[in-house]
Amino acid sequence: MHIETKEILGKWKEYTLTNNHDMTVSVLDFGGIITKILVPDRNGTIENVVLGYKEYKDYEENPNFFGAIIGPVAGRIKAASFELDNKTFNLTANDGLNHLHGGPEGFHQVIWDVSSFKTDDTVGLVLTYKSTAGEAGYPGNVDIKVTYTLTDNNQLFLDYLASSNEKTLLTLTNHTYFNLCGNLKTTVHEHTLSLDSSEFVELDEQLIPTGRIVNVNGTPFDFRDERAIGAGFNDDSEQNKIVGNGYDHYFIFDKNSDTQVVVKEPIQGRMMTVKTTQPGMVLYTANGLSEGLPLAEGLSKKYQGVCFETQASPTSLHYAELPRIILNTSEIYHHQTVFTFSLMDS
């Protein structure tokens, strides 16, 4: 177990965590961005299974949010404003008329303070940041700590801890795009997905959740039994079409199983599970990914990765039946998401 550090562009640092099985996770202090995750396939070939830029300078803009910590609020806030205790807070509109992923001043754009740690069977990073009242338009001074822990069992733990001196909004996630084929050899069409969810939230034409909770029965959103992710890309469903033929929807977890997500890539044999304390997640299949971006292993294309954005829903500001994102001064925000990498049975 060891940690390496290198200077990037004379202003950032990249930390690479390595366990005893040659799995590595590389993270920038800028945005807490996961730039690479290297894991073996069934033949022992170690390859990168996440999307990242070829040139570090491209992370400065990063309109696709590759690998970043997302906050204060992950997702879209309608009309870039919200009310809290009869007071209106105006945010920056960076997605049409709406506010997306914390806006241009979101946590994906800040430099986090980083310290590292190592035990007999773990190695990790503690990232801290203090968001001051009014930053990005949100109330309250918010102290945030995000811990990345790599274990010797090829598990990556993401722990989120935060508190605020004022009532505010908070739901954090990580926006890594996964592609288990390794080194971007193909798209995620043939990845299979099992998802512990019988309900998703409908979207309107601006990709704002309508608040209508839809049962997945008989729809291309039913992943309770394992099936290929790409099966829904060209479905006639209006909800698939509205996001550019694919998925960009919030799924509410049933919590029927210990693991909420199982994703497999049958050719190389890699498997990843996602276990989280969050009430749901946005499944995003890179429908809007720009073509031709210079990534580490080639040029970007549609459907080249899949994001599992575990979080609560900003739509709860308007629909009380959805998981809430209000953080009171008396509360501690604490959530964990665990990504476990292994191999499919032969």
Q: Residue 285 is which amino acid? A: T
The one catalytic residue in 108, 191, 309, 335 is 309
- Residue 129 in contact with residue 110, Cβ under 8 Å? yes
| Cα distance between the two ends of the chain | 29
Report phi then psi at 238, rounded to 5. -60, -35
Q: Residue 143 is which amino acid? A: D
Catalytic, 166? Answer: no
Token digits of residue 123:
């190695």
Residue carrying the six token digits 């954090």: 172
Tell me 236's DSSP state: S
Catalytic, 175? Answer: yes
Residue ranges with strand state E in 73-141: 76-77, 81-84, 87-90, 99-100, 113-118, 122-131
Residue carrying the six token digits 């990709």: 207
- Residue 340 in contact with residue 261, Cβ under 8 Å? no
The one catalytic residue in 175, 191, 249, 335 is 175
- Residue 283 in contact with residue 346, Cβ under 8 Å? no
Listed residue (191, 211, 217, 226) closest to 303, CA to CA: 191
Active site residues: 175, 309
